[in-house]
Structure 1
């Protein structure tokens, strides 16, 4: 393993994003159709939040009870992305070392971090990306 390998080597560069004004149903659709667990919320190229599948699952009953799809729809209609997202998420730069990233993931309860350079979203890096990196070593 290279000591100072940067996050840019393992991050996902083509990031699926949502806008704060989008519908929560759109977030759910993007999570499902892209088989992802985290979506940065952007205003232009600026990251203003992040929303995860876990955030959505906490709100909905579908995974717990059969026949509750209507309740899930109602909840998603009542709430906005701004109400659910983690605002001002911690970010890392493309030059952050993978070692430093692992320390952040180990100390804090993050599973994904937006990668930002000069205020512009460049990618997203997840704990899964780190595991794949270590498996390749």
Structure 2
């Protein structure tokens, strides 16, 4: 597992990223979740990541308490991603060690993290599956000299 200690995000990140706009309606967001089966999307406005929206954020729209009135379904579905997204989010850079990514994922119970460049532009995503693959690859390389595992639709450098 010593090899894993050396690994960085750029060796395992996914570059083919699905994003959403802050202007997207909750109805469209629900459809996007259904189509992709992703758990969250980076929210991008004019090339900048302005937040993250998750299935949890989506479902929170439908939480009702005794103190709040129940809005009409159509009114809920016309709300936008900007109104429900998480604006304060954790991200990493392409040179971040995978050990740090793993620590952040466990500490904050995250399924994936956006990867931003020096100009705060989205360049990729790293998910739990990528970390699992890196761990497996490093273990195999150390024990059998196997080739590294890669995930995602492209290999980014």
| TM-score between the two structures when normalised by the length of structure 2 | 0.71
Say how many residue pairs are matched. Answer: 127
Tell which structure's C-alpha radius of gyration is larger: 2
User: C-alpha root-mean-square deviation of aligned residues, in Å?
Assistant: 2.0
Tell whether the 8 Å contact from 1:7 to 1:125 is kept in structure 2 after alignment.
yes
Structure possessing the higher relative contact order (Cα contacts under 8 Å, 6 or more residues apart) = 2
Deviation by residue 1:18-71 (Cα, 9 ceiling, x = unmatched): 11112122222222212211100011221100001122123348xxxxxxxxx6
Q: Which runs of 5+ in 1 are unaligned?
A: 62-70
Matched, 1:134 2:135: yes
Matched residue of 2:116: which SS? strand
- Greater percentage in strand: 1
Residue in 2 aligned with 1:17?
19
Matched residue of 1:76: which SS? helix
| TM-score between the two structures when normalised by the length of structure 1 | 0.80
Aligned equivalents of 1:96 and 1:117: distance in 2? 11
Question: Cα distance 1:82–1:101, how it changes in 2: closer, same or farther (>3 A)?
Answer: same
Tell whether the 8 Å contact from 1:47 to 1:88 is kept in structure 2 after alignment.
no
Residue in 1 aligned with 2:97?
97
